[in-house]
Amino acid sequence: MIPPYLQQIDGVWWLVEDDRDNLKVSYRIKNVIFSETSSFQHVMILDSYDFGRMLVLDGAVQTTALDGYIYNEMIAHIPLLFHPDPKNVLVIGGGDCGVVRELAKYPELETIDMVEIDQIVVNAALNHLPEVSGNIKDPRLQFHFTDGVQFVKEKKDAYDVVIIDSSDPVGPAEQLFTSEFYQNVYQSLRKDGVMVCQSESPILYAPIMERCYNSIREIFASAHLYTATVPTYPGGLWSFTLGLKQSGGIQQRRQLATPTRYINRGIVESAFHLPEFLHRGGQTPMMLMR
């Protein structure tokens, strides 16, 4: 059966991403490379005209060959640069494997755990989306195919860095945006621990970003928003929230020293300079559309 988000219009196939009632984003599609319904979601790899291959979950584009590296580099490298000596890293979600591919560039990491609820996403990305996953194979990388919410509950003082690379807060990812979950992430981190999560669009989903930031700020010694522009994500401008366990404010502990396509030393610094609407009165983000 053809899902409602794959539509043929005048003989041309489109993926129509239904972001909200008044916003639908359409991508012209060349081919369906992979399509399977898992216990959690409908997983597709599509080949599109302008964005190349893309991972689509329940009709929502997660990452593409064209710009996936921007998001993945911004969420993977930055937390490592704010930790003095990272050895053990946990990724929650991240099924397209773009984040673990970036982490594998750091020889100083001893273990990389990735807890992804849906093995079908990982297999699809490894087999059909090499532009993002790089077909990653690394002896330090261990996959755990289970719910990240439960997994992290059982970990205490286990990680230096936790990266939450989740899909939007619906279905199994909803819990990945709650205070209780961030509290468990805090406990899973060691003394100098650093966490980061994708905190949605500051333009179109400001309330989610604000909730995320405020919860992390209440639990961690400090929280810091940074942004990048990712063409694939509705609104373009995307936010990330960094949570630091150690008090003393934000301090970059190491310099970027790995090959990358997007991030560089200047971007690491400038990403924390926020637009005016996010940065009124110190570190408090303001909602644009209140």
Rounded CA separation 231/204 (Å): 14
Q: How far is the CB of 10 from ligand SAM (least distance, A)?
A: 30
| Selected catalytic residue, list 138, 165, 168, 192 | 165
Considering only the stretches 8-16, 116-124, 129-137, 216-224, report the one whose residues sit in contact with ligand SAM under the rule CB under 6 A.
116-124
SS (H, E, C) 131-142: HHHCCCCCCCEE
In sequence order, the β-bridge partners of residue 63 are 55
Q: HSE of 193 in the Cβ direction (CA atoms, 13 Å)?
A: 27
- Give the single-character DSSP code of 173: G
Active-site annotation holds for 18: no
Does the footprint of ligand SAM cover residue 198 (CB under 6 A)? yes
Give ∠ CA 44-60-138 in degrees, rounded to 5: 60
Question: For ligand SAM, which residue of 63, 199, 239, 241 counts as binding (CB under 6 A)?
Answer: 63
Q: What is the dihedral of CA 18, 22, 28, 33, to 10 degrees?
A: 0
The CA distances from residue 35 to 43, 128, 247, 259, in Å, are 6, 11, 46, 33
Q: Taking the mean position of all CA atoms in its chain, how far away is CA 130?
A: 18
Amino acid at 214: N
Which of 236, 196, 250 has its CA nearest to residue 73?
196
**Strand, coil or helix: 258:** coil
> Which of positions 127-186 make contact with ligand SAM (CB under 6 A)?
147-149, 165-167, 172-173, 175-176
Q: Is 71 in the site for ligand SAM (CB under 6 A)?
A: yes
Site pattern 175..194 for ligand SAM (x: CB under 6 A): xx------------------
Which one of 5, 51, 80, 93 is in contact with ligand SAM (CB under 6 A)? 93
Return the residue nearest ligand SAM (CB atom): 95
- Size of interface with ligand SAM, in residues (CB under 6 A): 25
CB of 58 to ligand SAM, least distance (A): 10
- Is 135 or 252 the residue whose CB approaches ligand SAM more closely? 135
- Rule CB under 6 A: which of 73-92 touch ligand SAM? 92
Contact residues for ligand SAM, defined by CB under 6 A? 55, 62-63, 71, 92-96, 115-118, 121, 147-149, 165-167, 172-173, 175-176, 198
